Structure 1
């Protein structure tokens, strides 16, 4: 297992980064929050975990060991793979996840696109006792990556499984609801708002169906 990578940041987007480790480019998938703390050309240390499958070896990066631990525990829930676990961490802080599990609050997880009531219920049920709140405060959002914000949010959305057309539509709707986000150009905050909007929209559609 590769527990961390250290080296200059060779490539950077809102969905992944390439770290130059002694001349070898290590591709690391991570959340916008984690990537928001990296800077092109500057040395970085990224906590990682590697998911090995028959046809691939994928490296996932985290801002700290705590975030990695929550990611790995989320993977123990039936029906949750690396992409969905990363999507949960893209929207929810580790401590928020702990509190939701401890409180039996499945609704918190349904805010994440791809997590319906059944999956949310499994998260709460299967992780009860495994994730306990630490009392830590939820950290503030990092400064945005200095690139065109809409392109970056679209890239993150597509990496999480959304197509570009739906991503653009959702981004526009979320920013229309919270125009101050576009003014600040805080990319991680815009992504979180878009994911929240998608979760709320799914809820609205479900209500209309019933």
Structure 2
């Protein structure tokens, strides 16, 4: 798995960048936010998402990890693929997208090319609980990484089955994952049982 690519910028368009990494040119699809962040620079570091399909091997690049986490959340929504997620991230900055989702502004989200009202509503419903905004700055589930969302969901489900209320379970699990982001689900549950 490629986590990031760092190198010189060989070619740059608003939709794609070719990063020269030791003589090997990687064609990376980017959003307008990332384009703005790397425009005018001679080199860059892009956080990568690899989309490997039967007929294609596509790289999506992001100027920061937060934008990549939002991209991963967006493509987890049914009906949203890589290009649509990139289109959303081109139309809205990560902070704006977090605000649109948390304020349930489907009208603004459907102004993005290729997004209808039903898709906009699905994005909001699916991601509202995963995205929280704090004092204008956006944080994903209290700083939780997208890959921790699965551990979070499993731990909360297990604690709920054990008879604990979902709301306090969610709070305790989120705190534990902030302290130990790489903790496996078993450890999270054990720590949560001590605190509940």
- How many angstroms apart in 2 are the aligned matches of 1:72 and 1:7? 24
The one-character-per-residue Cα deviations of 1:29-80 (angstroms, maximum 9, x if unpaired) are 1012212333577221111111111111111111100000000100011100
The one-character-per-residue Cα deviations of 1:67-126 (angstroms, maximum 9, x if unpaired) are 000001000111000010000000111122112222222112111011111001101111
How is 1:72-83 mapped onto 2 (pairs within 5 angstroms)?
72-83=72-83
Q: Specify every segment of 5 or more residues in structure 1 that has no aligned partner in the other structure, as ranges.
A: 139-210
Aligned-pair Cα RMSD in Å: 1.7
Does residue 43 (structure 1) correspond to residue 43 (structure 2)? The answer is yes
Q: Specify every segment of 5 or more residues in structure 2 that has no aligned partner in the other structure, as ranges.
A: 139-196
Does residue 119 (structure 1) correspond to residue 119 (structure 2)? The answer is yes
- How many angstroms apart in 2 are the aligned matches of 1:128 and 1:33? 22
2:32 and 2:91 in contact (8 A); partners too: no
Q: Structure 1 segments of 4 or more deviating over 4 A?
A: none
Change (3 A) 1:107 1:39: closer
TM-score (normalizing by structure 2): 0.66
Does residue 131 (structure 1) correspond to residue 131 (structure 2)? The answer is yes
Tell me, what secondary structure is at the counterpart of 2:132? coil
How is 1:56-95 mapped onto 2 (pairs within 5 angstroms)?
56-95=56-95
1:10 and 1:41 in contact (8 A); partners too: no
Match of 1:109 in 2: 109
1:49 and 1:60 in contact (8 A); partners too: yes
Q: After TM superposition, give the deviation of residue 134 of structure 1 in Å.
A: 3.4
- How many angstroms apart in 2 are the aligned matches of 1:49 and 1:136? 27
- How many angstroms apart in 1 are the aligned matches of 2:95 and 2:137? 8
- How many angstroms apart in 1 are the aligned matches of 2:14 and 2:82? 17
Highest Rg: 1 or 2? 2
TM-score (normalizing by structure 1): 0.62
Change (3 A) 1:23 1:40: farther
Change (3 A) 1:19 1:82: same
The one-character-per-residue Cα deviations of 1:13-34 (angstroms, maximum 9, x if unpaired) are 1110100111110011101221
